[in-house]
Structure 1
Amino acid sequence: MSEYNHVVDKQDNFTVDKVNTALDKINPDKKEEILKNFESFKSYLGKRIELAEKLGLSEEQIAVTAEKIANYLTANEEPRNSEEKLLSELWKVGTQEEQHKLAHMLVRLAQQAN
């Protein structure tokens, strides 16, 4: 089963509430591969953003999803490199508004990776 099936239903409706469940279901080896270095992380996010755009999600919807992912990573994963450590620290000290802006910036960064 692909991650697509976890967050998008049969009518192609995206549900942000399913993001944590989908992240929990990623194979630990795959998760390690994604998070092992910042370039692979950006590339993975870029591919997921590309899929979201094809499904018709707006930049705002993608940023809200990026916030959910950042919250998940901050709560459940240790940073594996200096870039992830910096992002984690910025996320922790940011207000909700600052986190939202950072999510938009991360989306743009990941879009440039592909």
Structure 2
Amino acid sequence: MENVDKKVEDKLKNFDDEKKEDILANFEKFKSYLGSKVEIGEKMGLSEERLAQITEKVAGYLAKNEDPKNREEYVLQELWKVGDKEEQHMLAHMLLKMVRKDS
């Protein structure tokens, strides 16, 4: 699974700025994008826990490196910042639940 972690980190670091801005500019687009990536992970056979770990990695990266582009992202970033490791992990599970509900 370290290979998956490496791919996620590489993808985040090398993400096209224009595409990233487009995805983050609208919360519905962000949820749709995340939902499509979750679907791919599920088709690859990744467990709920593994998907949550990857979601944590993405959320941590966004909280640290990106300014929120809308109210929803701002609230998520603030929740992420005040949460401890366990709370961040639960938030990752909740994000997964949210994007699945919308797909």
Q: Share of identical aligned residues, percent?
A: 51
Q: Which amino acid aligns with 1:40?
A: K
Larger RCO, structures 1/2 (Cα 8 Å, 6+ apart):
2
2:32 corresponds to which of 20, 23, 43: 43
Please report the TM-score for the alignment, with normalisation by the length of structure 2.
Answer: 0.94
2:51 corresponds to which of 62, 70, 79: 62
Aligned positions of 1:1-114 closer than 5 A: 15-114=4-103
1:19 is displaced (CA, Å) by 1.5
- SS of residue in 2 equivalent to 1:15: helix
1:17 is displaced (CA, Å) by 3.3
Runs (5+) with no aligned partner, structure 1:
1-7
- SS of residue in 2 equivalent to 1:111: helix
Per-residue deviation, residues 58-77 of structure 1 (Å, max 9, x unmatched) = 01000000000011001110
RMSD: 1.5
1:16 is displaced (CA, Å) by 1.6
Does the 8 Å contact 1:36/1:81 carry over to 2?
Answer: yes
Structure with more of its chain in helix, by fraction = 2
Does the 8 Å contact 1:63/1:107 carry over to 2?
Answer: yes
* Count of residues in correspondence between the two structures: 103
User: Which 4+ residue blocks in structure 1 deviate beyond 6 angstroms?
Assistant: none
1:111 is displaced (CA, Å) by 1.2
